[in-house]
Amino acid sequence: MTPFPPPLHPFTTSPLGTWQIPKSEAADATYNAIKLGYRHLDLAYIYGNNIEVGQGIKRALDEGLIESRKDLWITSKIWNDQHTDVEGAVNGILKDLGIEYLNLLLIHWPISFIKGQAPPSFHTDFSLGDVYQKMEKLCPTKALALGISNFSIEEVQSILDIATIKPIVNQVESSIYWNQFELESFCAKNGITITSYSPLCQNHPDPSLNIEFKDLTQDPLVLEIAKAHNTTPHAVCLRWHLDLTPKRVVLVKSVQAERIQRNFVDTLSFSLTEEEMNKLNNIDTQFRSLNPMGWRSAGTPFFPNY
């Protein structure tokens, strides 16, 4: 099994997450992030803002904020209804962004929707391994490294069993309230880094799921630690990922230049003490803010521990 060595390390800074950034604001948000020092962008076809993100990248290049495309680490993902034509999906992503290759390509979810049909319609003959092997054929011309997203332990193992190019990342929801320690331990043993999305736990579950929203940024312990460091609860929630062993990549998202800068600067301006980390690691509250329960009908290939 041979990993592709990336030309730029993806974990030197927290990535700018582009999920839920409106098209009308995506170009400016991307440009401002690059201007403020972000060099890692996390994208996906389904986010619907690739063209605008590409415009922000082009503006940064045209104005000399970065010397070349090689100064950026760009991650994108194959959506659930694109598994039958992986190369076509990647070609579309590259065209929308106006670039020639991705630094990292992920399978977005371990489930395959039937194109044109609403979930939970899915392919009954779906194979994660087949999709991953299609992605391997795109290396190193259109993707320099590969990874997975929202994969359970069993699903990660199913990729390791067939991969010739080792996945370097598993991107999953992770926060102080949804710590993913068991999954991370397994991934770490196999040289796979956890990338954490929804680190602030701020997505409100669909009312039909009857799941109570729990505000991590208002947790008494988080507020206490923020006060001790003269920082924000948001910064504490983000910093937690960086002070874990091994540290995680943590996705942050904002459309406002000031908030983009604060996420970047505040999170890197302090460290949590060992005592604070132990307390945060042992918080009893558990809450998963992005819970695709509607995809879990009988027969879907989700494993129960994700």
Q: What is the dihedral of CA 128, 99, 94, 23, to 10 degrees?
A: 110
pLDDT given at position 299: 55
Q: What angle do CA 256, 259, 262 make, to 5 degrees?
A: 150
Query: How high is the pLDDT of residue 205?
Result: 75
pLDDT of residue 230: 95
- Distance from chain centroid for Cα 145: 15
Q: Is residue 3 part of a domain?
A: no
Q: Is residue 240 part of a domain?
A: no
Whether residue 7 is contained in a domain is answered as: no
Cα angle value 285/185/44 (rounded, 5°): 80
State the DSSP code for 102: B
Burial class of residue 2 (count of CB atoms within 10 Å of its CB; 0-12, 13-18, 19+):
exposed
Amino acid at 236: V
Residue 280 lies in a domain: no
Classify residue 153 as exposed, middle or buried by CB count within 10 Å of its CB (0-12, 13-18, 19+). middle
Number of domains in the chain: 1
Is 157 inside a domain boundary? yes
**Total residues belonging to the chain:** 306
Hey, which residues are catalytic here? 47
Domain region containing 140: 16-202+248-255
CATH number at residue 130: 3.20.20.100
Please write the tens of the pLDDT for every residue from 62-111.
999 999 999 999 999 999 999 999 999 999 999 999 999 999 999 999 88
Query: Is residue 139 situated within a structural domain?
Result: yes
| 290 phi/psi in degrees, rounded to 5 | -115, 100
Task: Report the DSSP pairing between strands 169-173 and 146-149.
Answer: parallel
184 contacts: CB under 8 Å, gap ≥ 6: 174, 194, 244, 246, 248
All residue ranges of the chain with pLDDT < 50 are 1-12, 303-306
Say what the pLDDT of residue 202 is: 81
Report the alpha-carbon distance of residue 100 to residue 52 in Å, rounded.
16
Buried/exposed code over 31-40 (b: 16+ C-beta within 10 A; e: otherwise): bbbbbbebbb
- Tens digits of per-residue pLDDT, 139-175? 999 999 999 999 999 999 999 999 999 999 999 999 9
CA distance 302 to 306: 8
124: in domain:
yes
Give the integer Cα–Cα distance in Å for 250 and 11: 9
What the block records as the tokens of 131 is 């999709």
CB 290 within 8 A of CB 136: no
The answer as to whether 178 is a domain residue is: yes
Say what the pLDDT of residue 100 is: 96
Query: CB-based contacts of 76: which residues, under 8 Å, 6+ apart?
Result: 43, 44, 45, 50, 90, 93, 97, 102, 104, 105, 106
